[in-house]
């Protein structure tokens, strides 16, 4: 097969920070994407958990088309009809009490905003984050991201001297580090990047209690879990915990870049005017997409679909019964399969031989983040494909073959 010209061009000019797949995707509809050779794939990545509504949801497409012809940009200092409508729609689905919103364009920006609002909102500068937590990659958000490989290349520029990391789920550790100097505790209700690990309701409820006692904020990072992914509009609804702030992005506008930090009026009130801002945040185009996306989520019962299909998906995955699987876990359609060996060869084989896109989450976990519109037939296909891949891929034998071939090469040189 000749290499796509697009792949060559992208590899030539792209910054090089990504490990690129050998495929060029050109179209998507629902849970299916197509490459430039016309091959179809079942997409259980959906742009790292963005297209929960499925690719190119008709309502989002229509809203973007209409708004693009009307008004695409208007800074947040100038009120706009779509922004007002979006804010109203968003606040109507947020947990009670979160009624002030800072709009931006991505998850890491939402976390930057959360950090700044937490500092001004409490007059404190210390934070608590979770081991295995992922909060984004800008320098401010990186300070809350646990995995050293993301932080170390940047040395002291990532300043996390004011951040304590505690073991996810360990209530006593959390109690020991939260003091009356803590601005906020930051928790993902389900750790995504850290291996698809749902928090227990007890942990989140205790985190709520501890932060209240110490006058610290509880900030839930719902960037990946929010907007129906886990079977509720927000994952915090599973435990009934209402935070002081919530970071949002990914699925909020059905595929268009967007981010937000939602907070209580009390937290919002202490930021000085002009203390934070962004050019593109709250632009009418992403606002129109966001209105359409949230309305479609509600109308089509996406949370319920994610809950029901997630249970079905996990039950089928458990039914594979492979001795390479250590655990199947997740919440709604945020699913992780922890293997007893590295997951990368299986994810590659799923893509290349089976036409299924899945994602890694820590070296051992295969993560499935399909859209809530995926059909049960498609879930059956994905599970059958995964079963075949688990049977056929033998990384140890392949590695031995590679080593043997390398040895032969050096011997003939």
Ligand X SMILES: Cc1ncc(COP(=O)(O)O)c(C=O)c1O
Q: Which residues of this chain interact with ligand X, rule CB under 6 A?
A: 48, 106-108, 111, 134-136, 188, 192-193, 221, 223-224, 249
Report the DSSP pairing between strands 259-263 and 163-166.
Answer: unpaired
Q: Write down the least CB distance from residue 109 to ligand X, Å.
A: 7
| Beta-bridge partner residues of 355 | none
Task: State the residue for tokens 């110490």.
Answer: 214
| Beta-bridge partner residues of 33 | 28, 41
Tell me whether residue 256 or residue 389 sits nearer to ligand X (CB atom).
256
* 179: nearest Cα among 206, 143, 211: 211
Tell me whether residue 357 or residue 383 sits nearer to ligand X (CB atom).
357
Q: Write down the least CB distance from residue 172 to ligand X, Å.
A: 24
Q: Read off the DSSP letter of residue 354.
A: I
C-alpha to C-alpha distance for 250 and 33, rounded to whole angstroms: 18
Q: Write down the least CB distance from residue 409 to ligand X, Å.
A: 39
Tell me whether residue 111 or residue 158 sits nearer to ligand X (CB atom).
111
Tell me whether residue 193 or residue 338 sits nearer to ligand X (CB atom).
193
Task: Record the tokens describing residue 31, joined without a space.
Answer: 């849970």
Q: Write down the least CB distance from residue 111 to ligand X, Å.
A: 6
Tell me whether residue 29 or residue 362 sits nearer to ligand X (CB atom).
362
Helix 302-319 and helix 284-299, axial crossing angle in degrees, nearest 10: 70
Contact between residue 393 and residue 349 where contact means Cβ atoms under 8 Å apart: yes
Contact between residue 256 and residue 289 where contact means Cβ atoms under 8 Å apart: yes
CA dihedral 72, 107, 330, 253 (to 10 degrees): -10
Q: Write down the least CB distance from residue 135 to ligand X, Å.
A: 5
Tell me whether residue 188 or residue 354 sits nearer to ligand X (CB atom).
188
CB closest to ligand X, residue no: 107
Q: Write down the least CB distance from residue 136 to ligand X, Å.
A: 4
**C-alpha triplet 61, 63, 67: angle, nearest 5°:** 120
Task: Record the tokens describing residue 394, joined without a space.
Answer: 């033998």
Q: Write down the least CB distance from residue 108 to ligand X, Å.
A: 3
**C-alpha triplet 182, 229, 336: angle, nearest 5°:** 85
C-alpha to C-alpha distance for 189 and 207, rounded to whole angstroms: 11
Contact between residue 295 and residue 59 where contact means Cβ atoms under 8 Å apart: yes
Tell me whether residue 149 or residue 299 sits nearer to ligand X (CB atom).
149
Tell me whether residue 63 or residue 252 sits nearer to ligand X (CB atom).
252
Q: Write down the least CB distance from residue 45 to ligand X, Å.
A: 11
């Amino acid at each position: 097969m000749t290499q796509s010209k697009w792949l060559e061009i992208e590899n030539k000019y792209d910054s090089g920070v990504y490990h690129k797949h050998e495929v060029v995707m050109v179209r998507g509809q629902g849970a299916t994407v197509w490459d430039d050779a016309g091959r179809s794939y079942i997409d259980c990545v959906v742009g790292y958990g963005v297209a929960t509504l499925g690719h190119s949801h008709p309502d989002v497409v229509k809203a973007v088309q209409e708004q693009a012809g009307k008004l695409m940009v208007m800074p947040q200092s100038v009120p706009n009809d779509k922004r007002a409508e979006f804010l109203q729609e968003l606040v109507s689905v947020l947990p009670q009490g979160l009624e002030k919103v800072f709009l931006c364009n991505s998850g890491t920006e939402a976390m930057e905003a959360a950090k700044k609002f937490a500092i001004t909102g409490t007059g404190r500068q210390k934070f608590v984050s979770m081991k295995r937590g992922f909060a984004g990659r800008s320098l401010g958000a990186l300070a809350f991201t646990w995995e050293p490989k993301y932080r170390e290349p940047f040395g002291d520029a990532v300043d996390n001297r004011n951040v304590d990391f505690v073991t996810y789920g360990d209530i006593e550790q959390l109690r020991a580090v939260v003091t009356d100097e803590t601005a906020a505790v930051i928790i993902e209700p389900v750790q995504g990047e850290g291996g698809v690990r749902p928090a227990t309701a007890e942990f989140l409820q205790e985190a709520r209690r501890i932060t209240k006692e110490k006058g610290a904020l509880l900030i839930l990072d719902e960037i990946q879990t929010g907007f129906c992914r886990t079977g509720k509009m927000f994952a915090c609804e599973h435990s009934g915990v209402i935070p002081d702030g919530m970071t949002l992005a990914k699925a909020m506008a059905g595929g268009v870049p967007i981010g937000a930090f939602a907070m209580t009026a009390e937290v919002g009130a202490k930021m000085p005017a002009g203390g934070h801002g962004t050019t593109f945040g709250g632009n009418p185009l992403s606002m129109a997409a966001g209105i359409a996306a949230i309305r479609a989520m509600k109308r089509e019962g996406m949370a319920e679909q994610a809950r029901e299909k997630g249970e079905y998906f996990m039950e089928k995955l458990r039914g594979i019964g492979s001795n390479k699987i250590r655990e199947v876990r997740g919440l709604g359609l945020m699913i992780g399969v922890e293997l007893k060996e590295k997951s990368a060869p299986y994810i590659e084989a799923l893509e290349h031989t089976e036409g299924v896109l899945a994602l890694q989450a820590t070296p051992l976990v295969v993560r499935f983040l399909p859209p809530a519109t995926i059909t049960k037939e498609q879930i059956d296909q994905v599970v059958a494909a995964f079963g075949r891949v688990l049977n056929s891929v033998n990384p140890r034998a392949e590695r031995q073959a590679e080593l043997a071939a390398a040895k032969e090469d050096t011997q003939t040189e």
